Homo-oligomer: A and B are copies of this chain.
Amino acid sequence: MTKQQLFDNILHKQSFLCVGLDTDIQKIPLHLLELDDPVFSFNKAIVDATRKYCVAYKLNWAFYESLGAKGLISLEKTVDYIRRNHPDQFIIADAKRGDIGNTSEMYARAVFDYVDYDAVTVSPYMGEDSVKPFLIYPSKWVILLALTSNNGSHDFQLTASTTGERLFEKVLRKSQEWASDDQIMYVVGATQGKILKEIRKIVPNHFLLVPGVGAQGGSLKEVAKYGMNKQCGLLVNSSRQIIYSDCSEAFAEAAAKEAKKVQEEMTEYLKWTPKEK
């Protein structure tokens, strides 16, 4: 999916919500456990219920890998289901990959050839040749970790170099040498709302994937205020707050209600955007 197509979907749906399918078998409604593939059944119901209110789904691989190969089957079925039935959705493999070149090539095959994701999250620690193999696929995206939403982000990401540049700022600057804003996005945690203003000085035109709204305490209004650009430039992820808002048989309706609430708030913020036409 191109940047323009993503922006068009955002305008059409009046939403920049990404629903995180962090599906934990220990948290899904009990009645689903009797089915053949409870994780896929849960995801399918959540997707069908929320698709009107979001433009993207993010699948965090940890939750699937914790179930071994059968978790991966649920993951692949989910991506395939979204791709076939809701082709306007942007599908993110939240795998935080990154390895030496020949190994990153294998990861790229895994997410773009074997399964048809639109984007994959990548850790920048190993540098350019760990990221580049993901960039050879047209209309596919790397979402590079820059400033994450957890406490541990303070340990290394905020370390200032001798030039005064903090590590996450160097990641933002340096990675622009590898590809344009048509192929790279950045992960920026919502718990660091005001810092978005500084980040926008370095990456004014890039899309940012913003986790941490909701369960992790970030404010959507603050993210929109400091992070939005002329093409919206934001995908705000919400996982637990939406998908686990109810654990009865009415879980999907409850998720839809939560997603709709966020989408309606987003509509307000999208009015702030000077639309590029």
Which A residues are within 8 Å of any B CB, using their own CB?
Answer: 22, 24, 60, 62-63, 65-70, 72-73, 75-76, 96-101, 103-104, 106-107, 109-110, 113-115, 123-131, 145, 148-157, 159-162, 164, 167, 170-171, 174, 211, 216
Q: Are A152 and B123 in contact (CB under 8 A)?
A: no
Q: Are A170 and B174 in contact (CB under 8 A)?
A: no
Q: How far is the CA of A17 from the CA of B65 in the complex (A)?
A: 28
Q: Are A152 and B127 in contact (CB under 8 A)?
A: yes
Q: Are A167 and B156 in contact (CB under 8 A)?
A: yes
Q: Are A104 and B62 in contact (CB under 8 A)?
A: yes
Q: How far is the CA of A266 from the CA of B115 in the complex (A)?
A: 42
Q: How far is the CA of A216 from the CA of B154 in the complex (A)?
A: 33
Q: Are A155 and B167 in contact (CB under 8 A)?
A: no
Q: Are B66 and A69 in contact (CB under 8 A)?
A: no
Q: Are B126 and A22 in contact (CB under 8 A)?
A: no
Q: Are A65 and B167 in contact (CB under 8 A)?
A: no
What are the residues of chain B within 8 A of A96 when measuring CB–CB? 97-99, 123
For the complex of A and B, list the 6 residue pairs with the smallest distance between their C-beta atoms, beginning with the closest: A127-B152, A127-B155, A62-B106, A69-B72, A65-B110, A100-B150
Known pairs A60-B103, A156-B171, A161-B159; A126 contacts B98 (CB<8 A): no
**8 Å CB contact of A129 from B75, B124, B129, B151:** B151
> 10 other contacts beyond A127-B153, A128-B151, with CB at 8 A cut-off?
A63-B106, A68-B72, A69-B76, A96-B123, A123-B123, A125-B145, A125-B148, A125-B156, A159-B161, A159-B170
Q: Are A114 and B151 in contact (CB under 8 A)?
A: no
What are the residues of chain B within 8 A of A171 when measuring CB–CB? 156
Q: How far is the CA of A129 from the CA of B152 in the complex (A)?
A: 5
What are the residues of chain B within 8 A of A162 when measuring CB–CB? 160-162, 164
Q: Are B159 and A114 in contact (CB under 8 A)?
A: no
**What are 25 of the A-B contact pairs (CB < 8 Å)?**
A24-B106, A60-B99, A62-B97, A62-B110, A65-B110, A66-B109, A66-B110, A67-B114, A68-B76, A69-B69, A101-B150, A124-B125, A125-B145, A125-B148, A126-B145, A126-B152, A126-B153, A126-B157, A127-B155, A127-B156, A130-B152, A156-B171, A159-B161, A162-B162, A162-B164
* CB nearest neighbor in B for A65: B110
Q: How far is the CA of A107 from the CA of B114 in the complex (A)?
A: 22
**8 Å CB contact of A70 from B69, B101, B170:** B69
Q: How far is the CA of A129 from the CA of B125 in the complex (A)?
A: 17
Q: How far is the CA of A130 from the CA of B162 in the complex (A)?
A: 26
